[in-house]
Amino acid sequence: MRSNSTPISVPPDIRLMNAVTALLLAAMLVAVAALGLRWVVRLPVFAIRAIQVDGDVTRNSEASLRANALPRLSGSFLSMNLQDGRDAFESVPWVRRAVVQRVWPSRLLVKLEEHKPSAYWETKAEGADAQSDANVDRLLVNSYGEVFQANLGDVEDEDLPVLAGPAGTSAAMLHMWQRLQTVSSAIGEQVERLDLSGRGSWRLSFEKGAVVELGRGSEDEILARFAQFTRSITQITSLNHAPLLSADLRHAEGYAVRLSGISTTPSQVKPGLNGRSKKN
């Protein structure tokens, strides 16, 4: 005897109810698992038990790192956000860059790179020219040309130049200072200060007090003009037995200088030492 069976179709509303039930059950299981994991990672066994600091620690002691970075760390070995840890250490004065890594089972490895100061920095107000004295707080410029803030007392014994220019020009100014310093060292001078106006005019001040107006132009043009000046200025000062007070290199066919007790006009002094000087 053969029996015929006819499949019974489940109504759409029942199928929908079953699907919703399965979805809710899955969501509940995921939530329970997440809560369980959150509870587990907070167990004392996963607490951070040691922090190893490598790299540059010249400017920061263990005490300063502990006081500035540790209060900003949160979470356990497993739950701590490494980016937050990096931010915590990079908030410490003198720290330029930090890399934070987990070392199983309960240790953090922190590699620090500190700022290496290369110059003081003064931001020129918009519209200020190269002759303006910027009445602003000084910051510092590192070896990458980046401006950063730190205790200036930490570098008071270091012979750092002053760079003063529009915001965002610190890297270009540091590079220009390095090139000018190389040229000026040939005449036994140190560039103590370098100014850049918002209109692109350069001015340098020597350590001995003389000021040189370099004018505008590309970096190579400025360097060529300054190199021409250094090749003849020592002859001028020796000939007149007078130290340099100031020089203006913004003239097309030569430069004008002021010596102690002597002055010149642009037409009187040329790179070839032609012309006359007159007493003040």
> What residues does each domain of the chain span?
46-114, 117-279
Q: Which of 115-129, 179-193, 219-233, 237-251 has the lowest mean pLDDT?
A: 115-129
CATH of 46-114, one of 3.40.630.30, 3.10.20.310, 3.10.450.50, 3.40.228.10: 3.10.20.310
Compute the distance between CA of residue 274 and CA of residue 260 in angstroms, rounded to an integer.
19
Tokens standing for residue 264: 């010149």
Using only C-alpha atoms, the chain has a radius of gyration, in whole angstroms, of 34
- CA-closest candidate to residue 217, choices 229, 203, 241, 200: 200
Examine the pLDDT at 2 and tell me if it is beyond 60.
no
Whole-number pLDDT of residue 219: 96
Burial of residue 150 (number of CB atoms within 10 Å: 0-12, 13-18, 19+): middle
**Mean pLDDT estimate for the chain:** 83
pLDDT band at 61 (very low <50, low <70, confident <90, very high): confident
Instruction: Tell whether the model's pLDDT for residue 124 goes beyond 80.
Output: yes
Q: What is the pLDDT of residue 127?
A: 59
Phi (first) and psi of residue 148, to 5 degrees = -145, 165
Asked whether 276 and 239 are in contact (CB, 8 A), the reply is no
- Encoding tokens for residue 124? 């020129």
Contact between 185 and 192 (Cβ < 8 Å): no
Task: Indicate if the pLDDT at residue 49 is higher than 80.
Answer: yes
Token duo for residue 53: 């600091």
Given 3.40.50.720, 3.40.50.11690, 3.40.50.12280, 3.40.50.80, which CATH number is that of 117-279? 3.40.50.11690
Tell me how far apart the alpha carbons of residues 253 and 137 are, in angstroms, rounded to a whole number.
39
What percent of the chain shows pLDDT beyond 70? 78
Q: Is the pLDDT of residue 137 over 60?
A: yes
Q: 64 or 176: which carries more pLDDT confidence? A: 176
